[in-house]
């Protein structure tokens, strides 16, 4: 049994439990949907991304907040600053705020990620490659 903190020291705030749709499982295209944290009164914005083409992925970009990528299916290669990180289904990759990054499907098959933006709104600046 876990008890990492004393529940008596934390009270509820004014927010209520809520639900919203992140993506339509039947939708086509790589960007299946996004859900801004403000919709659920939270500080995390979620994106659902996936593609079936090895080598395909978002262009180089940067955010003013941290981003966490959950690899749900497939294999990916992440380029974040000087780091190159290969990740597979079940793994998580961290992209620090202000570090330009991109990722691509390594194949075979579909790459599917859930991208957790550590901000209530999706803020992004695309950077032209070369």
Q: How far apart are CA 115 and CA 71, in angstroms?
A: 9
Encode pLDDT of 32-73 as tens digits.
Answer: 889 999 899 999 999 999 999 999 999 999 999 999 999 999
Q: How far apart are CA 43 and CA 36, in angstroms?
A: 9
- Give the pLDDT of residue 72: 95
- Supply the CATH classification number for the domain 30-122: 2.60.120.10
The pTM of the whole model exceeds 0.75: yes
Encode pLDDT of 85-121 as tens digits.
Answer: 999 999 999 999 999 999 999 999 999 999 999 999 9
Select from 24, 23, 32, 78 the least CA-distant residue to 52: 32
Give the DSSP per-residue string, 9-72: G----S----------TT--SSEEEEE-GGGGTSS-EEEEEEESSTT--PPSEE-SS-EEEEEE
Residue 8's SS3 state is: helix
Select from 73, 66, 106 the least CA-distant residue to 91: 73
């Amino acid at each position: 049994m876990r008890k990492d903190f004393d529940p008596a020291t934390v009270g509820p705030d004014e927010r209520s439990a809520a639900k919203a749709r992140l993506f339509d499982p039947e939708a086509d295209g790589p960007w299946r949907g996004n859900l801004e944290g403000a919709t659920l009164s939270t500080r995390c914005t979620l994106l659902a991304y996936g593609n079936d083409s090895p080598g395909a992925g978002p262009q180089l970009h940067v955010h003013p907040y941290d981003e966490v990528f959950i690899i749900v299916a497939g294999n990916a290669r992440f380029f974040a600053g000087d780091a190159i990180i290969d990740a597979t289904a079940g793994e998580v990759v961290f992209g620090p705020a202000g570090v330009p990054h991109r990722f691509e499907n390594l194949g075979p098959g579909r790459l599917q990620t859930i991208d957790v933006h550590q901000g209530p709104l999706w803020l992004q600046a695309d950077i032209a490659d070369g």
